[in-house]
Amino acid sequence: MSPLTVFLRTLAKSTAIFLGAGVIFLNPTLDLSGSRSVTAQKSPAEAAADVLVGALKDSDAGVRRQAAHSLGQMRSVRAVPALIDTMKDENVDVRSQAMWALAEIEDRRATPAIAAALKDSDPKVRARAAAALAEFEDPAALDALITAARDSNVDVRKNVIRALGQIGDARALPALTEAMKDADASVRRQAILAIAEISDGDDHHGSAHPHPMPNPMPMPNPMPMPNPNPTPNPHPTPNPHNFRNWR
């Protein structure tokens, strides 16, 4: 192929691209795909989230983990379905990172999937699931958390009990009372805090503290003592013990 031919083809391709861009610019409602118009443009945040959602399917676990972490930092709501699906990843760290991201986004659509992760084979994932549910404060996870309060792992039990306290449902009190007998002191301490939070929540929801009993015989205010020397002293003697008035 001669240099002239290559030049002409390149020129034609560049011209086509330029003309296409001009048509889109002049007529932004033009339907190019048959089902979507060009007006449905994504914001930069949406476009970035879609790219990262695609990276959740990368062949490298480190890339998938980083993508989940970044989506959590972005708090991208549009990434929630993909992150829920990532909780089934074969890699423990990826599953755990997806859980963290969902906790950051705090979208309760993820509650059922995270509650199911309380039965994950890895204790790190179960602990992260309980921590995420503590952030959600979703009563829908109550039954799963009560069951998980007997988990064999100490960190899981502590996070579960914290989540029960955050939800603040009195139905968790039997499980929290049982946790007061836990062999681990940190779990027992967390149970105390959770019970106190539930009690505090009840007070705020209508159980008002009773007013103190009024004094049936209030003491009258004492009569002011008359000034024996009503004429002010034009030359008062400074109090030597009053250091604040000294300059």
The verdict on 101 and 142 lying in the same domain is no
Q: Tell me the CA distances in angstroms from 69 to 81, 174, 199, 241, one per residue in order.
A: 15, 36, 35, 65
The verdict on 162 and 187 lying in the same domain is yes
- CB-based burial of residue 129 (10 Å sphere; 0-12 exposed, 13-18 middle, 19+ buried)? buried
User: In this structure, are residues 94 and 123 in contact, taking their beta carbons and an 8 Å threshold?
Assistant: no
The verdict on 149 and 93 lying in the same domain is no
**Domain boundaries, position 56:** 50-105
> Over its length of 247 residues, how does the chain's per-residue pLDDT go in tens digits?
555 444 444 444 444 334 344 433 444 443 444 434 433 688 999 999 999 999 999 999 999 999 999 999 999 999 999 999 999 999 999 999 999 999 999 999 999 999 999 999 999 999 999 999 999 999 999 999 999 999 999 999 999 999 999 999 999 999 999 999 999 999 999 999 999 999 886 554 443 334 334 443 444 444 444 454 555 555 554 444 443 443 3
CA gap 27, 37 in Å, rounded: 11
| CATH number for the domain harbouring residue 144 | 1.25.10.10
Q: What single DSSP character describes residue 223?
A: P
Q: Total domain count for the chain?
A: 2
Q: Tell me the CA distances in angstroms from 58 to 51, 82, 100, 244, one per residue in order.
A: 11, 13, 19, 73
Number of residues assigned to the chain: 247
pLDDT at 210: 40
Q: Tell me the CA distances in angstroms from 103 to 21, 56, 161, 183, one per residue in order.
A: 42, 17, 17, 29
The verdict on 98 and 129 lying in the same domain is no
